[in-house]
């Protein structure tokens, strides 16, 4: 009988070690895999948002440059308007010779000689109209440029808005994933807590059983 006592003691001890080591609570492989996969998605979305931030920054710089060009073109319109006004005022001070020279310079193929005195007011008015025509032509070119710049700015602004909307969409997905992870962790925590209570009870019963077995076997051994 004593020969069987020692092997039985060893078996009881091994059973005790097994329960102690293997009875610990662990996260499931499936849970870990799911969490890791969700973290990969979140990291990817964050990187995408970072790239969109860089794109938005570049678009905002372009918008700043376009605004600078617009301001410059608007200044040109003001400069042209001032030139028209000053040139018309200057015509009022022209002598007859200067008036004829201005027309001959503009239309060299149609040489004008000394006009009749009554024709001079007409020539003055015509000279002013020509100045306004020149100013209108220059202004038209500048305003066409302003329209083109404004259209480009609208496109840039729309692109910036689209990038922000894409970022907002990414952020909503990230929030949804984080909420799912929190819920999953809460569920996992509750499950582990339940398992932990069961394991504690098992271990207590195992301790009692092992203690009784060891005590009984020891009694038989020394008997």
Mean pLDDT of the chain: 80
Q: What is the spatial distance between Cα 66 and Cα 140, in angstroms, rounded to a whole number?
A: 19
Q: Which residues have a Cβ under 8 Å from the Cβ of 26 and sit 6 or more positions away?
A: none
Element (H, E) at 223: none
Residue 2 pLDDT level (bands cut at 50, 70, 90): very low
Q: What is the spatial distance between Cα 72 and Cα 62, in angstroms, rounded to a whole number?
A: 15
Q: What is the spatial distance between Cα 184 and Cα 150, in angstroms, rounded to a whole number?
A: 51
Lowest mean pLDDT among 45-49, 78-82, 108-112: 108-112
Helix (H, G, I), strand (E, B) or coil at 115: coil
Give tens-digit pLDDT for 173-217. 999 999 999 998 888 888 878 877 777 777 777 767 666 666 665
Contact 131, 84 (CB under 8 A): yes
Give tens-digit pLDDT for 147-167. 999 999 999 999 999 999 999
pLDDT of residue 211: 67
Task: Please state the rounded mean pLDDT for residues 115-122.
Answer: 60
Closest CA to 205 of 33, 23, 34, 3: 23
pLDDT of residue 118: 47
pTM for the full predicted model = 0.64
């Amino acid at each position: 009988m004593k020969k069987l006592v020692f092997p039985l003691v060893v078996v009881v001890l091994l059973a005790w070690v097994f329960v102690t080591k293997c009875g610990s609570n662990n996260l499931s492989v499936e849970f870990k895999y799911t969490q890791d996969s969700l973290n990969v998605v979140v990291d990817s979305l964050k990187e995408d948002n970072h790239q969109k931030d860089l794109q938005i920054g570049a678009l905002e710089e372009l918008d700043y440059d376009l605004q600078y060009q617009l301001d410059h073109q608007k200044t040109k319109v003001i400069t042209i308007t001032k030139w028209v006004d000053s040139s018309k005022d200057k015509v009022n001070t022209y002598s007859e010779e200067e008036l004829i020279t201005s027309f001959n310079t503009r239309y060299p193929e149609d040489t004008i000689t000394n006009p009749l005195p009554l024709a001079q007011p007409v020539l003055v008015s015509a000279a002013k109209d020509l100045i306004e025509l020149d100013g209108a032509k220059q202004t038209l070119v500048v305003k066409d440029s302003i329209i083109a710049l404004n259209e480009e700015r609208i496109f840039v602004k729309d692109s910036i808005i689209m990038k922000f909307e894409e970022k907002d969409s990414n952020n909503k997905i990230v929030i949804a994933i984080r909420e799912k992870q929190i819920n999953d962790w809460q569920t996992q925590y509750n499950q582990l807590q339940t398992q932990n209570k069961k394991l504690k009870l098992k271990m207590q019963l195992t301790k009692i059983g092992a203690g009784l077995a060891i005590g009984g076997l020891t009694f038989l051994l020394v008997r």
